[in-house]
Structure 1
Amino acid sequence: MAEALIKVLLEQLATVAFDHTKEAMKLILNAETEVQKFSSNLKAIQAVLEDAEKQQVEKASVRNWLDGLNDVSYEMIDVLDEWNTEILKQKALGVVTAEKKKTFKKVCFSIPSNCFCFRQVNKASHLYKIATEIKVLNGKLTLIATQKEQFEFHQSSIHSRDGQLIKPLETSSFVKISEIFGREEATADLLSKLLSESSDEEGKRVLIIPIVGMGGMGKTTLAQLAYNNKTVETCFEERVWVCVSDPFDGVKIAKAIISGTGNTAPDSTVLQDVLQCMSRCLEGKKCLIVLDDVWTEDQSEWESLKLSVIMEACAKDSKIVVTTRKEKVAEIMGATTQMIHLEKLSDENCLALFNSIAFLGREEDKDNGFGAIGEKIAKKCNGLPLAARTLGALMHNKKKRGEWQEVLDSKIWALKEVKQQVFRPLLLSYYELAPTVRRCLLYCATFVKDYQFNKQNLIELWMSHDYFSGKDYKEKETTGQYVFETLVMRSFFQDVVEKEDYYNISSSIYCKMHDIVHDFVLFLNKNECFTVEIKEANARRMRISEEVRHLMLMFASFSSPLSDFISAVNCKKLRTLAIFNSTMSSIDIKAISQMKCLRTLNLSHNKMREIPEEIGELIHLRYLDLSQNYMEKLPDSLGNLYNLQTLCLTGCLVLIRLPETMGNLINLKHLHNEGCSYLGYLPREMARLTSLQTLNECTLTDEGLKLGDLGSLDQLQGSLWIKLKENLKDATSDAEKAPLLNTKLRFLMLWFFEPYQDLEALQPHQDLETLTIYWYGGTRVPSWMISLQNLRYLCLDGWSECECLPPLGKLPFLEKIDVRGMKKVKTVRDEFLGIMDTQTSASSSSVFFPKLKDLRFDSMDELEQWEGVGGDEITIMPCLASLTISYCTKLMNLPLFLRDTPVKEVSISRCPRSIVMPVWPDNCDVHISFL
């Protein structure tokens, strides 16, 4: 970690702004000179860090030396950050001053020297304190630099492996290669047990199948393969996957089973209440339940879950699959006869797995000297699939035989301190990562096992700790993308999936870490990261080391004042604090005032009703997550967090307004506020947030943020839901000031609370992929709609005054159209296809709606006719798969061209019985219910 930390610190030291304060600095201990000395010492240490990082694994003295170096480095980062925060503060105040002269216009942040004359703002005493700290830290670093000589480190040339991050990474498709090498017999055995028609052995209604094997053997992979098997899917009414891990908690597992069935788990923490609810959810259903990664050998803990409840509730032939490293678990469950034991892979299968990844796309190298070395490397994997995949990913990018030989001859294979065999190949791969990537991986130890990472969220967390160097936020964010892809490609991340959001208008990437990788990262982190699940039984004896920098507290059916765990002693180095599932209504003010170094504060999924004003004292804060809480408002002191980059308010259902001081957050890049149903006021000062990239929902009012103010937020990207409230004054002129055309949004939702006649001025960017417009009161379709050449999904809902559909047929990528409540449309004419006159239809061959797959008309009260053109030279909707017509109570016909489409699903409901329809294809699933 020290390599990446020092690199970022040196960059900060090089850019610290003394230019505007030189006069004051001459009187304050000559801090600029002290910083230069500090940089010089760091560079001397940097030359030996690569060797020191490797030696720390087996030498405690080296590890202690590095800890001391990290301490001083972190302290200096905080001191510099305090200095730069003063500059940010003055920038924010400068913008306010400028706005008094010219309202809401983007202000250039070039700072004249007199702007920061600290004599004018009476900051001399504060500067003196900072300069003194710099001098003290320089003395500490000088001592550390002297101590390095006793270790006889090998000096490496100063180079940056981070340079590779600026290049596009190679495909990570090899991660998706089947991971069941040598597991054919086990796979067949598991499928056979799952699909067996009876489980009468010993009179049991439910068969328990344990999959047992040491870490890294592929137990979870095997269970996933069977769980997602198509035949298995159709065999069971309910399939539930629960990550158990350690510690074992019967209430938590039972609630996870309830949620897995699609039901809502009760708030109760009484085991009996939860078990009764679970029983009702499973009652009479044939179920497959997977309990993944079970550790406990305590019979009483198993009894608390009462498997008998599950077995009595589920229908006959239900199955429970348990993955565990311990054979004793199978014995406790009385299922040893059904146990599937995963042994190490044979040398042949281990080599095959290694080769499938290492030589992907470069098969010719296998017979060119690489294959013989690869065979020896694969043997060192000792039959562990995870090791084979990790080393295969490592060797994939090594193009020289000498590089392969270096891996084979590495001293890491002989490390005695590394007791788990799989850690050695992981260490080899880890040390080959760029320092920045290593540091980002280590941060993931902050999270519990089986945690599902959101890619964008993880990058924002990494950035909150300044893990990336670069000239601006965009460049650093791009580095974060490459870091994530590298960790996927090297098998440190797995189970990568894409999920759509609540409104199905955008999607996010998620992944997990293998539990062995989690153990490995904890092994490297030592005491720096600490995650604990707090129960009433362990709360009073919980003691958190003062060395912890990243802390996660998981409350299990119990809450206690934060000051019970965090004191002035053990939180002075804390840079991350995450608290989940507590019943605290307000965070402890005493604790807040002590966490001076925090960069990340996550208070999501609690019961917070109030955030104290003292939160404004956390000046280093970059990331603040208050999601899924119950505050009606936020404190005005939020505006003091000048460094804040990410503010998460997702699902804060009762939040009414944001504070006027939001405009001070000039560093804010991401405001996640989807699901804030009652957030009806955004202050107009938010127009000053010219760096804002993410704003999920935006309510525009006369009193607060206006439509015209969006012109300042031209960095917005991703998705945006604009709610135009009633009584908007001068809406037309405001719209002309809001150049959405210059905002690279991909997903746009417009919601009109009152009729608004000028949709024309709200033209979005050409890259827009999803457009949804609710309750537009205009009579005409905007002309720009046919120019959205990248549009994939269009929803028009509640257009009560519009009499015609937009001409969409020529949009090349449009896949789904959803039209609802256009109550004045009487006829779907040829214009809908993009045919504007008869000459167009006859002039040349044409394809209309070339990619359309899903078409829906709903609640079209006056729709009577759907005209259809035909002809040998015209093709209409060649990809149509689903057609839905509902509540079109006057519709008399559907066009004949629909019979020539490949439609697979047709649903017609609440339409006249006399409606004329084409003859649908034989393979089409048709559902019809007339008025």
Structure 2
Amino acid sequence: MAEALVSGVLEQLTAVAGKGIQQKVRLVVGVDEEVKKLSSNLEAIQAVLVDAEARQVTETAVRRWLDQLKQASYDIEDVLDEWNYAILKQKLEGVEDATGPKKKVCFFFPSYCFSFKQVSLRNDIAIKIKEVNENLDVITKQKERYSFNTITRVERLEHVQTTSFIDVSEEMCGQDACKSILIDKLCASTEQRLPIISLIGMGGIGKTTLAQFAYNHDKVMKSFDERIWVCVLEPFDEHRIAKAIIESLEGSTINLIELQSLHKRISTSIQRKKFFLVFDDMWNEDFKKWEPLYRCLKNGVHGSKILITTRKESVAKIMGSMDIINVQGLNDEECWLMFKRLAFFDRPFEECERLEEIGKKISSKCQGLPLAAKTLGSFLRFKKSWEEWKCVLDSELWKLKEIEEEVFRPLLLSYNDLPCLIKSCFIYCAIFPKDYGLKKDELIKLWMAQGYVKEEENKAMEIVGEEYFNYLASRSLFQEFEKDDENNVIRCKMHDLIHDFAQFLCKNECLHIEVGGIKEPIINSCNHEKVCHVITTIYRENLFPDSIFSLRRMRSLLCCSSYPGGILPPNMLSKLFGKLTCLRALTISRGLREIERIEEIPKEVGKLIHLRYLNLRGSGMRKLPETLCELYNLQTLNISLCGELEELPQGMEKLIKLRHLQNFGTWSLRYIPEGTQRLSNLRTLGYFVISGSNDEKACSLEGLKYLNLYGELYIGMLGNVLNVEEVKRLEIKSQKSLLGLTLDLREDDNGRERRNEEDETLLEVLQPSLNLEKLKILSYRGNIIMPNWMMSLTKLRHLRLDGCSNCKHLPPLGELPSLEYLDISLLNSLKSVSNEFLRKENDGTSSSSVFFPKLKTITFWFIYEWEEWDYEITRIGEEEVTTIMPSLVSLKIYDCPKLKALPKHLVQNTRLKKDISYCPLLD
């Protein structure tokens, strides 16, 4: 990690010094020499870091030296960031006179124009540069005592596509005997009341995978009324576990706080139910903590069973387990098969033959541990030559006694091979608790905030970050991938042991602090100088730990709460902004279920000059302070679901590095500030609202054309548009990177009655790019939903029509070749669906005899006047109609009370899963 830090600092030093010269932001006399010396020391250290990183595992003195270097590098990074901030401030705001208000000045100006305040700022930065240089000078001299070798690393990043890594996280390889024994025990009848079965074995042996296999086995699923999975972890938190059981049984969390009340709720919920409960990763050896929960679980139907997984046999015995299954490692053949499947994936047959013998020797080093075989196989998948495989076999890491966990050795081999920036990305994941669902997009933004992901030639940071994510996934360092409809990974987890490994590498730089729960804060016992990244979980109101403000080097603070009002008391926010000024990433967001929310963001937020990532999701403030616009480095601002927020700061144009303005669900916004159109780096804008008051402070719809947006965009209050010519000038079809578009034609209550033809004209000129894949049309008042461009959207996969109240007929959507998901709701004038739904009314000819060729799901909601759904077409011209909706697997019809029959081809579709409610079709 030190290697990545030093490399980044050197790059930053060159860039900032270059800007200073170009923009004539000079520091005090003599500092130029200090900058040169700083650069020289960093280059000298960089030359030996490959050797130092390799030796730190076995040499404590080298590890301490690298720790000193990391802390010094963080200090240098902060000083350079301050210098860069001063340059940005001068560029954006001009100079501030010592006795008066701000004055805008020319971009270049002589030194006599500077105010005393700016001279003081330059002196302050210069002094800090000298201080960090003196510290680095000592570290540079110390390196001589270790006789490091100079090694040049050649960074190679194989470009791994999203779908090319192999997800084996849920597959069960080998261990057939264990599988059979476990299934038999779970399904057998027993006289014992609520028996406990335990899977024990070392970390990485496959206990959780075996439990997942049983949990999802058909025989087990048929044997129980309810199945519950709880990841226990250390420490054993009775409140959290009880709530997890209730949530699994009832589908939602509850506001009960007392443990007795929670246990009573569980006891009531499982009455008359035969349940199967899995406690995964159990460590608790205190029977007193376990007994009350076990007692209330006995209220279930006879035949209910509990399965636990644990690394310690003593835990199984303390919990009263009568059946203990000792999970053994894979045998040599099973281990080789798992290793081979990954290491030889997509490799030519001749190459596999050449590497098979040495591959079996490496596989045997895994000692039957599935996680070791999986990780090492994934790592060697990218090693092409026999010599590279031989280096792995002969590595000294296999002999290390310092590493307690056997599986850490193959993990260390895989980690050492990562490019230095990707090492930093991996270690950063240690900030999250075990079993945490890592959201890919959020994780990439956090990496960006720390400087681990940078733009490459013709490649945006976000794309580079996705490649880094895929790189780690391809080496099996992530698992349990959750995917969207397009098969893109949106969320994943880390195996417990891989999380332990990341914690082992980060050496207390990343902390998870629980407050008010079982595990009390350990801040006072940790090295304050080392802690850089903290995630807090707060279980009680107003218990935010004051001692956290002593962690002055902190670069990430992600606050979570499982208690209403427990995130950050209002008085704490000002203190946080004033003291933790090194922060690059800050989350103080609320969950949707929380009651009390942060109602005000103090103006002191402007002190966080290093901040790149600010997540205020779900907060309750009505507006944001103007000082937020002084965060010139900000890349991500998440204000989604801030339901009270009415306006954004007027100085938004100063956020020149802003890339993501996430404001989806913030429907209370009255307008988007006019300066937003000048944010040339902006890639994400969730919600663009058109002002109904023709306010000069508001960005016009035409302003969108100056942005290059990616992903999805929701344009709200289109009914406020008075001038269609303005919409024409927008030319939204030129936004080639917009793949999703929502057109909401509602309007402010301004007393003006809109005409149907106005919406028809407006929809016609809002022609999107031909690349569009998702389209939603909401609150449309036209008589027909058929703009001329509709049928040209050949890539359209998702379509939603909602609240188009005057439409009596559906457009010919059957001719859209890529449409997969169709959602239609609140069409109050629709009475019949017939031929026009399949094709255009034309001269009787058509280019296809297959309609809706790729449609998978179709949903109808709240269409109260709909009576008939039938087609009369049997031929189109001379060609017979052969197929309608051949790919359809799901039909949902809700609240359509007058619809009495389905088309024949839907009735006869045996593959079709129907979900029909509040409709006569149920009869």
TM-score by length of 1: 0.88
- Which residue of 135, 139, 142 corresponds with 2:137? 142
Give 1:748's match in structure 2, choosing from 725, 729, 741.
Answer: 741
* Aligned residue number for residue 881 of structure 2: 874
d(CA) in 1 for partners of 2:499 and 2:536? 17
Change (3 A) 1:268 1:877: closer
Secondary structure of the residue aligned to 1:265 is coil
User: Does the 8 Å contact 2:671/2:699 carry over to 1?
Assistant: no
What's the counterpart of residue 808 of structure 1?
813
1:563 and 2:556 matched: no
CA distance in 2: counterparts of 1:473 and 1:595, whole angstroms: 35
**What SS does the corresponding residue of 1:633 show, helix, strand or coil?**
coil
Contact 1:773 1:796 in 2 (8 A): yes
Query: In structure 2, which of residues 199, 203, 225 is the aligned counterpart of residue 215 of structure 1?
Result: 203
Residue pair 2:690, 2:721 contacting (<8 A) in 1 also:
no
Aligned to 2:101: none
Q: Structure 1 residues 243, 909: closer, same or farther in 2, change over 3 A?
A: closer
Partner of 1:268: 256
Cα distance in 1 between the residues matched to 2:458 and 2:257: 44
**CA distance 1:87–1:816, shift in 2 (3 Å):** same
Is 1:767 matched with 2:810? Answer: no
Residue 569 of structure 2 aligns with which residue? 585
The 3-state SS of whatever aligns with 1:352 is helix
Query: CA, structure 1 residues 424+296, in 2 after alignment: closer, same or farther (shift >3 Å)?
Result: same
Structure 2 stretches of 5 or more lacking a match? 95-104, 592-596, 748-753
Partner of 2:727: 735
CA distance in 2, matches of 1:911, 1:181: 47
SS of aligned partner of 2:814: coil
Asked whether 1:521 is paired with 2:485, we answer no
Q: CA separation in 2, counterparts of 1:373 and 1:911?
A: 66
Percentage identity across paired residues of the two chains: 40
Give 1:901 deviation, angstroms. Answer: 5.9
Deviations 1:728-782 (CA, angstroms, capped at 9, x unpaired): 2525234224333233222222222245511112222222222222210122322
The Cα offsets for residues 465-497 of structure 1, whole Å up to 9 and x where unpaired, read as 011243479532222111111111111111112
Task: Tell me what 1:575 maps to.
Answer: 555
CA distance in 2, matches of 1:854, 1:328: 51
CA contact (8 A) 1:671 1:696 kept: yes
Contact 2:671 2:689 in 1 (8 A): yes
**Counterpart residue identity of residue 653, structure 2:** G
Offset, 1:215: 0.7
Note if 1:160 corresponds to 2:174.
Answer: no
Superposed CA deviations along residues 131-162 of structure 1, whole A, max 9, x for unmatched, are 232233233323322221110112112x431x
| CA deviation map 1:359-384 (0-9, x unaligned) | 23337357744222222222222222
Aligned with residue 278 of structure 2, among 286, 290, 297: 290
Name the residue aligned to 1:697: 687
Taking a change above 3 Å as real, the CA distance of residues 251 and 675 of structure 1, as seen in their structure-2 partners, is farther
**Which stretch of structure 1 is more off in the superposition, 251-260 or 64-73?**
64-73
Summarize the Cα distance change of 1:68–1:307 in structure 2 as closer, same or farther, 3 Å threshold.
same
Q: 1:769 to 1:33 in 2, by over 3 A?
A: same
Query: Matches of 2:916 and 2:239 in 1, distance apart?
Result: 45
Alignment equivalent of 2:527, drawn from 545, 551, 556: 545
Confirm whether residue 799 of structure 1 aligns to residue 799 of structure 2.
Answer: no
Partner of 2:269: 281
Alignment partner for residue 653 of structure 2, among 663, 668, 678? 663
Distance 2:853 2:39 in 1: 61
- Supply the distance in 2 between the matched residues of 1:473 and 1:131 (Cα, whole angstroms): 35
Distance change (3 Å), C-alpha of 1:831 and 1:214? same
Q: Assess if the C-alpha contact under 8 Å between 2:425 and 2:452 holds in 1.
A: yes
> What displacement does 1:199 show?
3.1
SS in 2 for 1:176: coil
More divergent stretch after superposition (633-642 vs 357-366) = 357-366
Contact 1:766 1:788 in 2 (8 A): yes
Does 1:192 pair with 2:184? yes
SS of residue in 1 equivalent to 2:579 = coil
- 1:609 counterpart SS class: coil
Q: Tell me which residue corresponds to 1:310.
A: 297
Cα distance, 1:282 vs. partner?
A: 2.7
Q: Is residue 400 of structure 2 the alignment partner of residue 415 of structure 1?
A: yes
The 2-side partners of 1:170 and 1:624 are apart by 27
| 8 Å CA contact 2:448, 2:454 repeated in 1 | no
- Number of the residue aligned with 2:782: 778
Secondary structure in structure 1 of the residue aligned to 2:713: strand
Match for 1:447: what amino acid?
F
Note the alpha carbon deviations across 1:30-77, whole angstroms, 9 max, x for none: 444433332222222112101101111222211121122222222222
Query: Which amino acid in the other structure matches residue 752 of structure 1?
Result: L
Task: Please give the secondary structure, in 1, of the residue aligned with 2:873.
Answer: coil
**How far apart are the structure 2 equivalents of 1:867 and 1:23?**
71
Q: 1:443 matched to which residue of 2?
A: 428
Indicate conservation of the 8 Å contact 1:87/1:116, yes or no.
Answer: no
For 1:579, what is the secondary structure of its paired residue? strand
Deviates more, 1:394-403 or 1:28-37: 28-37
2:34 alignment counterpart:
34
CA distance in 2, matches of 1:291, 1:864: 52
Per-residue CA deviation, residues 614-641 of structure 1 (Å, 9 max, x unaligned), is 1110000011122243333333321111
- The aligned amino acid for 1:248 is F
Structure 1 unmatched ranges of 5 or more? 95-110, 913-926
Question: Within 2, Cα distance between the matches of 1:670 and 1:26?
Answer: 32
Aligned to 2:309: 323
The C-alpha deviation readout for 1:656-688, integer Å capped at 9, x for no partner, is: 433333332221112223343544444333333
Shift of 1:712: 4.2
Check if 1:181 corresponds to 2:162: no
Contact 1:217 1:342 survives alignment (8 Å): yes
Q: Is the 8 A contact 2:514 2:521 kept in 1?
A: no
Quick one: distance in 1 between partners of 2:607 and 2:808?
57
User: Could you say if the C-alpha distance between residues 397 and 290 of structure 1 is closer, same or farther in structure 2, counting changes exceeding 3 Å?
Assistant: same
- Residue 701 of structure 1 aligns to a residue whose secondary structure is coil
> Where does 1:43-58 land on structure 2 (aligned, <5 Å)?
43-58=43-58
Note the C-alpha offset of 1:175: 3.6
Instruction: Give the CA deviation at 1:709.
Output: 4.6
Alpha-carbon offset, residue 888 of structure 1? 5.7
Larger mean CA deviation between 362-371 and 230-239 belongs to 362-371
> Aligned match of 1:253 in 241, 247, 258?
241
Q: What is the letter of the counterpart of residue 579 of structure 1?
A: C
Tell me the equivalent position of 1:370: 355
Q: Structure 1 residues 297, 365: CA separation in 2 closer, same or farther (over 3 Å shift)?
A: farther
Distance 1:804 1:541, change over 3 A: closer
- Once the two structures are overlaid, the 10-residue window that deviates more, 701-710 or 400-409, is 701-710
Shift of 1:390: 1.3
What is the match of residue 402 of structure 1? 387
CA distance in 2 between partners of 1:398 and 1:837 (Å): 60
Computed over aligned residues only, the root mean square deviation of the Cα atoms, in angstroms, reads 3.1
SS at match of 1:261: helix
Q: Is the 8 A contact 2:567 2:588 kept in 1?
A: no
Per the alignment, do residues 751 and 287 of structure 1 end up closer, same or farther by CA in structure 2, a change over 3 Å counting? farther
3-state SS of paired residue (1:577):
strand
Partner of 1:108: none
Letter in 2 for 1:584: L
The answer as to whether partners of 1:821 and 1:861 remain within 8 angstroms in 2 is no
Matched residue SS, 1:531: strand
Cα shift at 1:595: 1.0
Q: Tell me which of 643, 651, 654 is aligned to 2:633.
A: 643
Equivalent pair of 2:235/2:519 in contact (CA under 8 Å): no
Residue of 490, 502, 505 corresponding to 1:509: 490
Q: TM-score, normalised by structure 2?
A: 0.89
- Hey, what's the Cα distance between the residues in 2 that align with 1:121 and 1:825? 70
User: 2: CA distance between counterparts of 1:493 and 1:865?
Assistant: 47
CA deviation map 1:419-442 (0-9, x unaligned): 221111111111011111111111
Q: Check the 8 A contact 1:684/1:709 in 2, yes or no.
A: no
